[in-house]
Amino acid sequence: AAGGALSGKRVLITAGGTREPLDPVRFLGNKSSGKQGVALAEAALAAGADVTVIHAHMDVAAPAGAKLQSVETALELRAATLSAAGTFDVVIMAAAVADFRPASISSGKIKKRDDTADPVINLVRNPDILVEVVAHRAAQNLKQLIVGFAAETGDDQDDALSYAEAKLQRKGCDLLVVNEVGPGDSGTERVFGQDSNQVQILALDGATPVQASGSKRTVADTVVRVIAARLSAS
């Protein structure tokens, strides 16, 4: 789209859920479908951006028209993201990154044996890639807009939002797109794997939060609109 709101802009999006191997055939994963990341890529492409998607596991097809790089683990996602980040105007971290990974990866398949105790999986923390992207921007003196996502649970919406506000401050990204996850009133999952989403877009500079709800594409279009407005104002 020549003349689109993000025409000439380079946008990096991380998407999908990382998988942290336990042994050659097993991993710890998460429920991320990649749908929101793909929708963001499509929205950014429609706005005329040059889009790169670094994606971990996704249940959906990667977006046509974007440059793609596939990774598996949080550490791979981190390496790919940090080595690419320098040339992008916008970085959107929509990937669901595992907070922990197994402390060691068994070189052979972990076997069940009646004569030994049940195995225990020790976990170690993964780095927070979003925090590192923010630090990288500062270290390289880049003019870059950085957007995080947060899936929050809380006793109620206010509760979830105050967690999100604290997270925004802690991570230091410009925008944090927040959705409440977990069972809704009907008891079914509201976000993961679903086609629709309800979010608030919080801004580090204290701008009034922007709400969006509807399909993940509708949410993505709103996120892109907020990003484009900030780029043109700066």
Give binding residues for CTP as ranges. Answer: 99, 109, 127-130, 149, 167, 171
> Does 148 interact with ligand C5P (rule: CB under 6 A)?
yes
| Cβ 59 to ligand C5P shortest distance, Å | 17
- If the CB atoms of residues 64 and 135 are measured against ligand C5P, the closer one turns out to be 135
**Binding segment (CB under 6 A) for ligand C5P, from list 61-69, 82-90, 148-156, 218-226:** 148-156
Amino acid type, 91 = V
Residue 8: exposure state from Cβ atoms within 10 A (0-12, 13-18, ≥19): exposed
- If the CB atoms of residues 23 and 132 are measured against ligand C5P, the closer one turns out to be 132
Q: Is 141 a catalytic residue?
A: no
Which whole-number Å values give the CA distances from 234 to 55, 58, 227, in the listed order?
Answer: 29, 34, 11
> Does 59 interact with ligand C5P (rule: CB under 6 A)?
no
Residues 16 and 30: beta-carbon distance below 8 Å: no
Residue length of the chain = 234
> Does 27 interact with ligand C5P (rule: CB under 6 A)?
no
Q: Out of 22, 30, 42, 149, which residue is the one contacting ligand C5P (CB under 6 A)?
A: 149
Q: Measure the CA–CA gap between 28 and 30, rounded to whole angstroms.
A: 7
79-108 residues in contact with ligand C5P (CB under 6 A) are 93, 95, 97, 99
What letter does residue 111 receive in the DSSP assignment?
P
Residue 80: exposure state from Cβ atoms within 10 A (0-12, 13-18, ≥19): buried
> Does 42 interact with ligand C5P (rule: CB under 6 A)?
no
What does residue 168 show for φ and ψ, rounded to 5 degrees?
Answer: -60, -45
Residues tagged active-site = 30
Chain contacts with ligand C5P (rule: CB under 6 A): 74, 93, 95, 97, 99, 126, 128-130, 148-150
